[in-house]
Amino acid sequence: MAADIIPIVNQPIYQETSVVSQVVDDTLLYTLKTLIKKYKKRMGDTDDFCVVSGGLQQFINKQEKKMSVGDQNKRGLNVNDLPVNVKIKIFSYLDAIQLCRISRVCKEWYDLTSDNILWSEILERDIRSWNVISHRTNPGLYKEVESEWSNKEIYLHCSPTTNHLMHEENALFRSFTSMIRSFLPKKTPKIAMFGPGLESGTLKIVPLIINNTDMLKTVGVAPGEFTGVGAGFYLKIPSGQVFQLAILYSASSKVRKTRRKRLENNSLVELVSKDGEQVVELKPAVRACCCAMDAFIYVVDSTKGNRFEQEDYDELMAVVNERWSAPHVPVLIMSCTPTNQQQRIPCVDVIKMLNLSSFNRPWQVQDVNVDSLTGVIPSIQWLIEQSQRR
C-alpha cells in the first residue's frame, strides 16, 4: 500500500488546494493523511513528510537518524577531522624518519609534513643531539647563504641519521668505488694530532688509541723529522688503511702543571710582534712539520661547563693558517668527554665557539668518548678519505 501512495504524496499534503478538494472528498483525504503518518512512524521518522522510494535507501536513512552521539564516539577519533594547526602540533612530536613515512599516507599529510615552520622547529630541537657535523652538513651554512632549500631538505641533507641510512642504501656502490680507488697509487697520509684536549681531562685518548689493538693496530714507529718534532706511530684501521699519526704537545707534563696560561712556555707557538700587535705564530720546527702534514686532528675537552679560551683558538688558527695555500687539507675536531656518562657541549656549539664556518677547508666535528673510543674510527676514516682527495 505504501508504494501505491507515493505518486500522490510527491506534493505536500498540507497544501490543500482547491484542485485537490475537487478530486477527492474529505474522507479520502483524511484516510491518506492517516496512512502517511503510520508509514512514517513505522520508518522511525515523524519530523517531516518526505517519503523516499526504495527499501535500501529507506533503511539507510533510518539507520543514520537512529545513530546517537554515543554511537559516533565509539567509532574513534578521525585525525582528518582535526584543524590543521592541531595536526601539525601532533606531527611535531614525531622524528624525521616517522614524518617521512606518514607523508606517504595521502597528499594532505604530505603537504602538512612538509611545512617549513614544522621542520624548522624539529631542526632546532634535534641539532643539539647530533654527534657529527661537517662543512657539508652544517645547517648554519645554508641559512647564512640564504639557500633556496626548504628546512626539510636541509634537515634530511645534514642529519647524521638520514645520512647513515643513505649510505646503507648505497653500500654496494660505495664498496665498488672504494675497490676502484684501492688500485690507485697513494701515499700513506700523515696526520698531526694536537689541542688542549690532549692536556686536560681527556688526555688519556692518546695511550688508549695506541694500545687499543681491537680498533687501531700499531704497525710501526715514525721518528721525528724536524729536530724531533712530529714523532709518532703508524696505525692501521679495521678497513686496512694505514696512516701516520704525529702527536704535538704544547709542553711537557711538568711544565703544564706550573704554567698559568697555555701560551706560556708553549712548544708549538709563540707570540710575535707585528705592526705593534701581538700575533700567535708557529715555531720554525713546528711550521716545517705542519707543512708536511696531510690532515690535522684538533682535540678539545667538550665536557659541559668547560670553556674554550681564546688561546686555544689562536693555536688552532696558527696551525691551520700555515696550510692556507692548501685548502684540501682537512681538519677533524674531536669533541671529547672522559666517559659517556658526562654531559657534553653539543657539536653545533663547538662549531660556533671555534668559528669553523669561516674555515676554507674541509672540517668535521665528531663526538668522542675517551673511555670507549666511540667515534674515533669513523672520524679517522673520514679524515683519510678527505686527505686523499685533491
Find cell 714523532 and name the residue.
231
Output the CA–CA distances (angstroms, integers) from residue 235 to 162, 222, 246, in the order listed: 30, 10, 11
Distances (CA, A) of 243 to 12, 99, 232, 238, 246: 96, 41, 10, 12, 10
Res 16: pLDDT: 43
Q: What is d(CA 5, CA 29) in angstroms, rounded to the nearest whole number?
A: 12
Q: Nearest-5° angle of CA 293, CA 298, CA 302?
A: 170
Q: What SS3 class is residue 52?
A: coil
Name which of 37-41, 135-139, 262-266, 276-280 the model is least confident about.
Answer: 37-41
CB atoms within 10 A of CB 167: 11
Provide the pLDDT for residue 15: 45
Lowest average pLDDT, out of 33-42, 158-167, 272-281, goes to 33-42
Instruction: Give the model's pLDDT for residue 184.
Output: 61
Q: CB–CB of 108/80 below 8 Å?
A: yes
pLDDT in tens, 22-51: 444 566 556 656 666 665 666 555 454 454
pLDDT at 303: 92
pTM above 0.95, yes or no: no
